[in-house]
Amino acid sequence: MRSVRRLLVVGATIALLAVLVPSASAASHKAFHLEKTCVDNFTCTVLWSNFEAIPQNTEITYTYNGDGSDGLAYPTVWAVNGTTTGLCDWTHPTGPIQAKCTFDTGTGTLTGFHLAVRVTANANGSVWYWDGTYWFD
């Protein structure tokens, strides 16, 4: 009789975890907003961010393969005690979306960091916005 109870308890626990783990994972995505200004196509400075590991004055630098005509840029965010590198795709500049950027890894405080944002700018291009979601492994 004891083994049947144990089996039921173990089965119930597994079923409960199967329900809770996916919802906890989905809840871990958080809204991300960043505003930055750029002095050229290679160096930008964060004006404001809702993510504390990437505060005001964080530097974002961009590198390009070749001359950048392929529409791809590789930003590196030099955050508080860590970095993350991503990919920005500028090949579909339709509507208000200028680019889509994704970050899949990081170091230090950004270890396991993931970010997916759309990039837009104000009317004169003096301030750029990253809006999307972030999560950690």
What type of residue is 47?
L
Scanning the structure block, which residue is given the tokens 């400075």? 45
Comparing 13-17, 25-29, 92-96, the range with the smallest average pLDDT is 13-17
Q: Report whether pLDDT(15) > 80.
A: no
To the question of pTM greater than 0.85 for the whole model, the response is: no
User: Cα angle at 53 between 49 and 54, to 5 degrees?
Assistant: 40
Enumerate the domain spans of the chain.
29-136
Cβ within 8 Å of residue 70, ≥6 positions away: 91
* Residues β-bridged to residue 77: 60, 84
Q: Report whether pLDDT(17) > 80.
A: no
60-85: pLDDT as tens digits: 999 998 877 888 999 999 998 999 99
